[in-house]
Structure 1
Amino acid sequence: MSEIVIGNRKIGVNHPPLVIAEIGINHEGSIEKAFQMIDDAAKAGCECVKFQTHVIEDEMIPNNVVPGNASESIWDIMKRCALTKEEEKILKEYVESKGMIFLSTPFSRAAAIQLEELGVLAFKIGSGECNNHPLVEHIARYGKPIILSTGMNSIESIRKSVDIIRKYNTPFALMHCTSIYPTPYDKVRLGAIEDLAEAFPGTVLGLSDHSISNYPCFGAVALGARILERHFTSDKTWPGPDIPISMDPTELKELIEGSQAVFQALGGRKTVLAEEQPTIDFAFACVVAIQDIKAGEKLTMENIWVKRPGNGEIKAESFHEILGKRAISDIKKDEQIRWRYLDA
């Protein structure tokens, strides 16, 4: 499973990274804000935006649990931010009209059913549901590509869900994630990408990042990540629990361009490129006379040295090889020395 395909987009180690702008619940229940974020993501050149699908009554019981990045209960937040099925349908059609991929994370069985009825191309499963085996299995049965975030889960825990997904021959990708909001750089742990690669060979990998910059994502590409996800907002002054960890349109554009640049810079071997020859011609040094040398005179450290440009016949690396040889003709100061000027 070296690649997965969502719509017409191939994703894998040999393809440029897919950047997902997670709008999530940053719209705070306002479809107008959602439209604006879709527009801004499209202008930034983004290929994929992701929402969250919350059917509250099927997702959780009434509670007063307050997330670490909020000041109100998760129940109240989701009640306020949940979109209707009709609103999601409108947003999906709008996203696709822009030529982008629409994704959403279902947080319950009812939400997954709703997204399947809307005809989504793939499913994103969040870190909180990574070990929710009934939900993972329900989604895996659809046979559509799954992007599984793995925050708060060990390799052993992840493996159980992977086994469920594989049972249905469903394509999948794994996202390393740290579920701290925001994530300090020293808690991002990019080494976990290598752990996932070792534990699940050939699997498409990515990073769902909650830090406050693009830097970890750039590093992740160098380690093999080919899906990059960060929260996204049009305006960092908007209210919302995820706004402080969200990138704005400028940062999204930089993430897309930067990740593409890192991808293009990968690979290769330490060889001399033909395109380097013009630089070689001026940057390398060759052996030259540093004073007039008469025929029959021996070459010494006092009358020869190495200087630019590098277009001469005897390169600097051969300097010691010709020391002690005798000139068979006169050589002028600053003249590049040729093999025919020297005795055998």
Structure 2
Amino acid sequence: MSIHQDANDTTDLDGRTQPSPVRIDGIPVGGGAPAYVIGEIGLNHNGDVELAKRLIDVAADAGAQAVKFQKRTPEISTPAHMRDVPRQTPWGEMSYLEYRYRVEFDREQYIEIGDHATLRGLSWFASPWDEPSVDFLEDLGVSAHKVASASVTDSGLLTRLAATGKPIILSTGMSTLEQIDRAVEILRGSPLVILHATSTYPLPAEEANLRMIDSLAARYPGVPIGYSGHETGLQISLAAVALGATMVERHITLDRAMWGSDHAASLEPHGFSNLVRDIRVIETAMGDGVKRIFPGELAPLAKLRRVDA
């Protein structure tokens, strides 16, 4: 299957198609640009605006380009079989549906955290889990939309997202290639970034399957391919960058021991800062693939080489 962002694709030294850049608030993703790093706040704010702001600060201080949240209309997006399931929370026992309402930000709260992200120099957007949530986010003027892995097969949601004309970031966890193909077809014409992901929390190394980055790049030439990670350390995300990931998304938290389903698979501030630092080191170290004698080699060359060519 082939989908192209525009007519300006380039090729690398191996003749492979390089992804045309998608721009989010003017920052390119793909096309040889540095990896675009997203601090995934998700629900790790636990419904607390001040905690959300502190997590935005973590992402900004680390040098990320964006933060991402999740937006739901709980009555629509909560599966029927889950609504009445009891949930133990810091606010006492409640049904799963009540919990979903408890941690959901309203319009004024999103304006407050969105303004904070903007003031810190970050783009912000969210994963809408239902069609009214797309309209909610559009009204707030988000710069992009993220499709959660759970929503890959939601054709109504994808159609509504495609109609926005905004950049779309498509996660591919818990999905078959055929399901991804159908999602990509619906999103055809949208500026698109595809993220390889495995939706196991936390992610064990044996399920990371990082070679899918190359497989997705071959299947969707011209589309930037990134990585959304749910592992506990840095190694797998860093390897993804070395394998060509143009975007990296990781959950962030103030403390992995906090209450909530995603905290254990998140990076604490120091870890997230190290991730961004090490991504930039790897990008510098990748070079251009052209063999040359570097300036630092000249002294050892003069000292050690006995026979000239």
The TM-score with structure 1 as length reference comes to 0.78
The C-alpha deviation readout for 1:107-144, integer Å capped at 9, x for no partner, is 11111110000000100110000111110010011000
* RMSD of equivalent CA atoms: 2.0
2:119 paired residue number: 97
1:14 paired residue number: 32
| Structure 1, unpaired ranges of 5+ | 287-314, 319-344
Please give the alpha-carbon distance, in whole angstroms, between the structure 1 residues aligned to 2:269 and 2:167: 27
Q: How does 1:220-235 map to 2 (within 5 A)?
A: 220-235=240-255
Please give the alpha-carbon distance, in whole angstroms, between the structure 2 residues aligned to 1:118 and 1:268: 44
1:183 to 185, 203, 207: 203
2:76 to 58, 63, 83: 58
Q: CA deviation at 1:218?
A: 0.8
1:107 paired residue number: 129
Please give the alpha-carbon distance, in whole angstroms, between the structure 1 residues aligned to 2:134 and 2:171: 16
| Structure 2, unpaired ranges of 5+ | 6-19
1:268 to 289, 293, 304: 289
Q: CA deviation at 1:13?
A: 4.1
**1:157 aligns to 2:179 (yes or no):** yes
1:44 paired residue number: 62
Cα separation, partners in 2 of 1:150 and 1:116, compared to 1, 3 Å: same
Please give the alpha-carbon distance, in whole angstroms, between the structure 1 residues aligned to 2:250 and 2:58: 15
**AA aligned opposite 2:193:** A
CA contact (8 A) 1:63 1:75 kept: no
Cα separation, partners in 2 of 1:26 and 1:121, compared to 1, 3 Å: same
CA contact (8 A) 2:256 2:265 kept: no
Secondary structure of 1:262's counterpart equals helix
Moved over 4 A (4+): 70-74
2:143 paired residue number: 121
Structure possessing the higher relative contact order (Cα contacts under 8 Å, 6 or more residues apart) = 2
Cα separation, partners in 2 of 1:219 and 1:127, compared to 1, 3 Å: same
Please give the alpha-carbon distance, in whole angstroms, between the structure 1 residues aligned to 2:45 and 2:257: 12
Please give the alpha-carbon distance, in whole angstroms, between the structure 2 residues aligned to 1:134 and 1:21: 27
Cα separation, partners in 2 of 1:73 and 1:147, compared to 1, 3 Å: farther
1:5 paired residue number: 23
Please give the alpha-carbon distance, in whole angstroms, between the structure 1 residues aligned to 2:94 and 2:215: 36
Q: CA deviation at 1:246?
A: 0.5
1:31 paired residue number: 49
CA contact (8 A) 2:75 2:97 kept: no
Secondary structure of 1:206's counterpart equals strand
Secondary structure of 1:128's counterpart equals helix
1:132 to 154, 169, 191: 154
**AA aligned opposite 1:18:** Y
CA contact (8 A) 1:58 1:109 kept: no
**1:216 aligns to 2:220 (yes or no):** no
Cα separation, partners in 2 of 1:76 and 1:242, compared to 1, 3 Å: farther
Please give the alpha-carbon distance, in whole angstroms, between the structure 2 residues aligned to 1:13 and 1:152: 27
**AA aligned opposite 1:86:** E
CA contact (8 A) 1:103 1:124 kept: yes
**1:236 aligns to 2:251 (yes or no):** no
Q: CA deviation at 1:89?
A: 1.3
Cα separation, partners in 2 of 1:255 and 1:72, compared to 1, 3 Å: farther
Larger Rg: 1
Secondary structure of 1:57's counterpart equals helix
Q: CA deviation at 1:275?
A: 4.1
